[in-house]
Amino acid sequence: MTSPVYLDHHATTPVAPSVFEAMRPYFTEVFGNPGSLGHAYGWQAQEAVGTARAQVARLLNAAPSEILFTSGATESNNLVLKGLVGARRGRSTHIVTTATEHKSVLDPLARLSRDGIRVTVLPVAGDGRLPLDLLERSLGEDTALISVMAANNEIGTLQPLEAIGRLARERGILFHTDFTQAAALLSLDVQKVPVDLLTLSGHKMYGPKGVGALMVGSGRSGAELIAQLDGGGQEQGLRAGTLNVPGIVGLGEACDLARKSRESDAQRLTTLRDHLKETLAAALGDLRINGTWTHRLPNNLNVSFPGVDGEALLHALPEVAVSSGSACNAASGEPSHVLLALGLDPGLARATLRFGLGRPTTADDVDFAAARVIEAIRRLRPVSPGMDTPVAT
């Protein structure tokens, strides 16, 4: 069997060839522990980590000293949320977020809420955007943190980071954003956009799995966190454990690559994404585009197909690698919490495909995928009784 056309780049991306080549020596040749500072092997590893730290910082226009390395965005998000609460022990702490955040934000906040921390989960508008007036009304004297992702991993919706950051800064509140899905395609200058804490993950931006970063903007906000892993004092005492040098080198190279190519990548993928949408709409008509079209990741298309059984739809597309939502939710079988937050009923939420285009995606890939989806929808609708009635785009 030939490999299916891969349009699931929100779940993970292939490691870029230049990233792989940058990592290669650090598995077998330059294998030292960056904490071993008594010999050349450790010095070489330490230098490589320092270079990567500067590369990540350059992507965000941050200071290298503000970059900490973790195992990925999930760990980084947990460190922000639990670390902040730990640092504020004994003080009243209120955290505000949205209903469409990644589970690596919502689940830690649910745990903190059970432990007595006041958490407000705000609804979003029908297009997935957070209404700023609603956010402002939710803030109180004890609000310590606003956590809102830059770009949604399912519907691609971009949140108004600059406006949220300004509001947070005016109220003396820390602002955290999960930048994971946006890092490969969109620019963010933390000297201009008031972001205090930012997380990203290597494998969502053509880097390796198992490595990520957390920016702690100490120079701007004075954010205090308590480590969630103790045992070695690495990463300014905030994340103990021997550093993953090959992974960190790969993350640094991926950040450099993104900085150089994100504008051209975004333009090309927007064209392909729009063509995919127009092809599906022209052939099928009755479909629903989820999320705002004007404030959206250039590589994202999230479409619901009324009148179709969702499970049957995915099974009908063996030649196209797509998903119905977040990879982190796939095992549960539950409809997407993001789509439910937009107001979709569970049946329509299940009858949804998330297309995530990427650097390797070609026009032929898009045409092939569109043809297979159109064929599957036309075949399934007549044999899916009792499903949702058509919804206009």
Q: pLDDT value at position 392?
A: 39
296 and 157 Cβ atoms separated by less than 8 Å: yes
Dist. CA 338–CA 182, nearest whole Å: 17
Q: pLDDT value at position 384?
A: 74
Query: What letter represents residue 57's amino acid?
Result: A
Token readout for 348 is 């329509």
The interaxial angle of helices 245-284 and 363-380, nearest 10 deg, is 50
Q: pLDDT value at position 232?
A: 87
82 and 112 Cβ atoms separated by less than 8 Å: yes
**What structural domains does the chain harbor?**
5-12+262-383 (3.90.1150.10), 17-257 (3.40.640.10)
**DSSP classification of residue 384:** -
Q: pLDDT value at position 218?
A: 73
Q: pLDDT value at position 286?
A: 86
76 and 212 Cβ atoms separated by less than 8 Å: yes
Token readout for 269 is 């993928």
Q: What is the dihedral of CA 310, 316, 319, 320, to 10 degrees?
A: -20
For the stretch 159-184, pLDDT in tens is 999 999 999 999 999 999 999 999 99
Element (H, E) at 274: helix 245-284
Q: Which residues are catalytic?
A: 328
Residues facing 80 on adjacent strands: none
Print pLDDT tens along the chain (393 aa): 578 999 999 999 999 999 999 999 999 999 999 999 999 999 999 999 999 999 999 999 999 999 999 999 999 999 999 999 999 998 989 999 999 999 999 999 999 999 999 999 999 999 999 999 999 999 999 999 999 999 999 999 999 999 999 999 999 999 999 999 999 999 999 999 999 999 999 999 999 999 999 999 975 556 789 989 999 889 998 999 999 999 999 999 999 999 999 999 999 999 999 999 999 999 998 899 999 999 999 999 999 999 999 889 999 999 999 998 655 555 556 899 999 999 999 999 999 999 999 999 999 999 999 999 999 999 999 987 555 444 434
For the entire predicted model, the pTM comes to 0.94
